[in-house]
Amino acid sequence: MPMDQHQLMALVAPRTLYVASSSEDFGADPYGEFLAAKEAAEVWRLYGMENTLPTEFPALEQSVGNMVKYHCKVGKYSITAADWKYYYDCADKLFKTV
């Protein structure tokens, strides 16, 4: 059965989804990944959650969004310490009890 990426991403709702891209990962299409996350975020609205992804592609190295988050880093596909910082910051906001 054919599926588009935004449909697969939407299955995560209402839990948090984090999508990360690399600016030089042309096989993955960073702009397309952002658009897929933006379309998937509409499902979170059905749960009463605000979609805070920007209308335009965000600046590189900038994490955006709330329940659906996105960032695109400079360079080729890899997972760097900067990526982990974004992921940990996201987790801290989700699980912080203080």
Alpha-carbon gap, residue 64 to 57, rounded angstroms: 10
Closest CA to 14 of 58, 46, 62: 46
Widest distance between CA atoms in the chain: 45
Query: Which pLDDT score is estimated for 51?
Result: 83
Over its length of 98 residues, how does the chain's per-residue pLDDT go in tens digits? 566 999 999 999 999 999 999 999 988 899 999 999 999 999 999 999 988 899 999 999 999 999 999 999 999 999 999 999 999 999 999 888 65
Structure tokens, 28: 């993955």
The b-or-e profile of 15-49 (16+ CB within 10 A means b, else e) is ebbbbbbbeebeeeebeebbebbbbbbebbeeeeb
> Collapsing DSSP states into helix, strand and coil, what is residue 19?
strand
